[in-house]
Chain A
Amino acid sequence: MDRRVLIQRVLLVALAVLVALFTYPGAMVASFATRITPPPTSSRGPAGALSWLHVEHPSGAIPYIADDEARMVFLHGATPASLLEFGPRNQPEYPIDPAAYENGQCPANKAESKYPPLCEADVAQMARLGFNVIRLPISWSLLEPQRGQFSRTYIDRVAQIVDWARAEGIYVIVDMHQNAYSNFVGASDSSVDLGQYSGAPAWATFTDGLPSHVFVKQREVNPAVLEATTNFWYDRNGIQDEYLAALAHIARRFRDDPVVAGYGVYNEPLIGWGLPPGFEDLLLFPFYRRAIDAITGAHDGLPCWSGFFMPAVCGYRNLGAGDARHLIFLDTGLLREVTDFPTHLSMPLSSYPNTVLALHAYTHFYTVDHLLPQLVSSTTYPWGGYDQSYSLGEHEARAMGAALFVSEFGSPPDDDSRLLASQVVEQERHRTGFAFWTWKENGGSGAWGIYASPKNAADPNGCLRSDREQLLARIYPRATADTNLVFRYDSGNGSFSLDAVGDVGDAATVVYVPPEVTGDVTVTGAASTIVDQGADGSRLVTTSPTGGAFGVQVAAATLNLTGCD
């Protein structure tokens, strides 16, 4: 063979291998290699006020969040958003120095801020509703206001809230949040309300001069946002590396604390200028894998360079956080959220076992039938109704090897009987926990908080909305050894039934009964039971199986609602 032809063919083959490595074949190899890669080692964490959570992987079933006794754990909670920084002021809404909140102090609410301040009393109020998790959104812009310099004060503030949660027996998910990428994308005209934007610091926001103008009334449909987001996914100027360093910084602080359930890596990832499924397969989920590598020391993906675009096959170096114990919550892409439909076929993600696929369930509100009613009718979409997102989410989670959790859902208060009531029913059917969006919100009667917007601007909240108290302060199993249990709470009359099976020696099933519920508790079948009464009137039903089927029932009775209409 002619030498020149030989060289040409060798170069062609090399080019083909390179292209394959940088695209889908490389992405798939990196994904499936995680199945044979040993997981990162972790010692058993120091004991704390709460059990360490992890993800169990039962054979042939969906993974689930579990406690030290391998019981399935249900997390119910809310999302207070006042630690976020929004535009156009581009400064914290409230003091971030923990000293401003010590000894029960609470800064005055600001009407111009979207959210009231988060204070110690809030955490007690959450516990009173039976919540056992807080999803705590934080802003990258406040954590790392200058490149490479992390705010000690801000992370101390997060730690302060974790301590409040510890005192109430509540877990915290520290969530790296963003809305439309950043509050520093600018506003070319009045179509942009920067008060809705949060996330990346100014130094990590590259809009390349594109106009910041909102189309179709959606803050994300903005050329500057799409450009800045795309620059993040392609690691322009190493900003993705900085983000991973920020995550590792948080993990380093909380690695020995079981009260921190885990970390939300990136809220509602926006696709930028990309298209599904390439965005998910080649950018988003490889980014998640790198985040897990950085935090846990897992060695997934190939060792690559950093500082500019890393293809899907690239893993990431261990950033020394040494945190191989916490849950890692991974949001689906934003397009998945607005369609209630997977935008890619999930593949194995990481050798690290404690991953959780975080759904945002906004059926009929942030889904296409509501956003584009002229194109898609709510009567026909989602095809599977409210169940669609959950059923498909289970498939996605199982293919990834992750547990499933609803890290956001919510609705305007006027839609509670339709949207909120339907979502909580699906969560029960699919045995997922939830974090409601949002805890408290300013802004009049349409604000989404569990508490009404305050009438007096300086007050931290208005009254507890009784409709929401009725729907969200629920009877639910906090932990159970029977992962196939079935339970149902009727928020209309306070009745509850749970059917489970257990062997002698199985860990107890613990059912929480909120103070709103007044009906009598009965336990049937093969189990012994202890009912503990809490100081707030709540009850904790601890049922230890003695071999066979057992049930927990709560009789219908008038609900003792404390909220206002």
Chain B
Amino acid sequence: MWFGIVAPFAIFSALRSLRRIHASDGELHGVASAIAGLIAALVALLVVVGGVAYWIAAS
């Protein structure tokens, strides 16, 4: 859950990193790491949103 709560910041950070990498004309590397971080953050966000939604609906 903690990962889900900080996920929006991770998504923001990953997108920002990707933008900077693309703008660097090859000077900066790490596209794969940034994408991996972005996916992990999206999954974490999905888990928390899904979990909370289930809790509200089911309980």
Residue ranges of A at the interface with B (Cβ–Cβ < 8 Å): 8-9, 12, 16, 19-20, 24-25, 28, 275, 277-278, 281, 344-347, 394-396, 398-399
**Cβ contacts B25-59/A at 8 Å (1 or 0 each):** 00000001000100110011001001110110011
Residues of chain A with a CB closer than 8 A to B12's CB: none
- The answer, yes or no, to whether B3 is at the interface (CB within 8 Å) is yes
Given contacts A25-B47, A347-B51, A399-B54, contact A16 B40 (CB under 8 A): yes
Residues of chain A with a CB closer than 8 A to B55's CB: 345-346, 395, 399
Q: Are B1 and A277 touching (Cβ within 8 A)?
A: yes
Residues of chain B with a CB closer than 8 A to A277's CB: 1
User: Inter-chain contact count A-B, CB under 8 Å?
Assistant: 44
Residues of chain A with a CB closer than 8 A to B58's CB: 398-399
Q: Are A28 and B51 touching (Cβ within 8 A)?
A: yes
Q: With the chains together, A344 CA to B52 CA distance in Å?
A: 10
What total of chain B residues lie within 8 Å of the partner, measured CB to CB?
18
Interface of B, secondary structure class, is helix
Residues of chain B with a CB closer than 8 A to A278's CB: 1-2
Given contacts A346-B55, A347-B51, A399-B59, contact A24 B44 (CB under 8 A): yes
Q: With the chains together, A25 CA to B40 CA distance in Å?
A: 10
Residues of chain A with a CB closer than 8 A to B54's CB: 345, 347, 399
Residues of chain B with a CB closer than 8 A to A20's CB: 43
Residues of chain B with a CB closer than 8 A to A396's CB: 59
Among candidates A9, A28, A281, A398, residue contacting B59 with C-beta atoms closer than 8 Å: A398
Please list 28 pairs of residues, one from A and one from B, whose beta carbons are closer than 8 Å in the complex, sorted by A's number: A9-B32, A12-B32, A12-B36, A16-B36, A16-B39, A16-B40, A24-B4, A24-B43, A24-B44, A24-B47, A25-B43, A275-B2, A277-B1, A278-B1, A281-B1, A345-B1, A345-B51, A345-B52, A346-B55, A346-B59, A347-B54, A394-B59, A395-B55, A395-B59, A398-B58, A398-B59, A399-B55, A399-B58
Given contacts A345-B55, A396-B59, A398-B59, contact A28 B47 (CB under 8 A): yes
Residues of chain B with a CB closer than 8 A to A395's CB: 55, 59
Task: Tell me the minimal C-beta distance from B58 to chain A in angstroms.
Answer: 5
Task: Tell me the minimal C-beta distance from A20 to chain B in angstroms.
Answer: 6
Q: Which residue of B lies closest to A275 (CB)?
A: B2
Beyond A20-B43, A28-B47, A345-B52, 17 extra complex contacts between A and B, CB < 8 Å: A12-B32, A12-B36, A16-B39, A19-B40, A24-B3, A24-B43, A24-B44, A25-B47, A28-B50, A28-B51, A345-B54, A346-B55, A346-B59, A347-B54, A395-B59, A396-B59, A399-B58
Q: With the chains together, A25 CA to B54 CA distance in Å?
A: 14
